[in-house]
Amino acid sequence: MLPGVVTAILLAPYQNPPGTRLVTTLDGPESPDHDLFGCFRGCPRIPRLFTLRVQVCRSAPQIMDAKKIKSAVADVTAEPDPTLKSAKLASLCSALWAERGVELVVVGGSAIEILTEGVYASGDLDMCYTNKATLPARKRQEVMGLLGAKGGPRNWQVAGMYLDLLGPAESFARTPFRRVDGPYGTFLVMKPEDLLVERVLVSFCPQPNLAARECAMSLIAAVLTGGIAVNWGEVRRVANLPEFRNLAECEKLVKEVADELKIQSPLHSD
């Protein structure tokens, strides 16, 4: 066991084969701002899909030879649960690219789907890279070709779903990426502080977007009911940045969900 690595294990839904699991972790010392010990408690928006328990651990990455890659692609292809399918593919792609010195992170609606345990359904997998300025098109095609992917150079169909490998990850929050333990090694998920502020922005700018609003509310509900740890100070700081300027809208939507849950909003106006 490694000190300073807080890990929450999300066991698969009851209808999935025993032993399948997701693990979300926060790198860094355990603190009230980064607490994954909560669980959903009767939230009307979020059905309880997973059983949550906590332990300290870190899984070792796998070395992906041709045989393991073929077996992994078959496993992802056969997975009937869309959220687990996304998580497995993210784990596989992250392992493959990590062997080549590239660190990937799940972003956007795909990240919200994983963080909310499937309450929000993205329908595809969006990933960015955290430690490279660019990824050459030839390298993208060669690596994704190992998975039998079709298309490119930024969007592929692989293992029965669509995967977008976009540009460098954009993050403004000072909190760590979430780390999820999948069957082929850990993978990163975008910080919920960034996701919340960004999704609220899209929900009203440049015009009202009901799908983005519902997505934002699902994420906020998961946070308010204890399923996702968020640093509200960072949410406030990021929303106040010139890149977003949407603190008032964030406060309003968080309060709306909090009122529905009959709890006090942690992002109330000062």
193 has a pLDDT exceeding 70: yes
Q: How far apart are CA 55 and CA 96, in angstroms?
A: 27
Q: What is the pLDDT of residue 270?
A: 61
Q: Which residue has the tokens 């839904």?
A: 13
Tokens 């994704």 belong to 144
SS3 sequence of the chain: CCCCEEEEEEECCCCCCCCCEEEEEEECCCECCECCCCCCCCCCCCCCCCEEEEECCCCCCCCCCHHHHHHHHHHHHHCCCHHHHHHHHHHHHHHHHHCCCCCEEECHHHHHHHHCCCCCCCCCEEEEECCCCCCCHHHHHHHHHCCCCEECCCEEEECCEEEEEEEECCCCCCCCCEEEEEECEEEEECCHHHHHHHHHHHHHCCCCCHHHHHHHHHHHHHHHCCCCCCCHHHHHHHHCCCCCCCHHHHHHHHHHHHHHHCCCCCCCCC
Please give the pLDDT value at position 132: 83
The pLDDT confidence band at residue 61, using thresholds 50, 70 and 90, is low
pLDDT for res 248: 97
Q: Which of 14-23, 158-167, 259-268 has the lowest mean pLDDT?
A: 14-23
Indicate the average pLDDT of the chain: 81
Q: How far apart are CA 172 and CA 87, in angstroms?
A: 24
Q: Where in the chain is the domain with CATH 3.30.460?
A: 66-189
The residue among 29 and 182 whose pLDDT is bigger is 182
Closest CA to 108 of 131, 125, 93: 125
Question: Who wins on pLDDT, 55 or 155?
Answer: 155
Q: Return the CATH number of 66-189, one of 3.40.1130, 1.10.3470, 3.30.460, 3.30.70.
A: 3.30.460
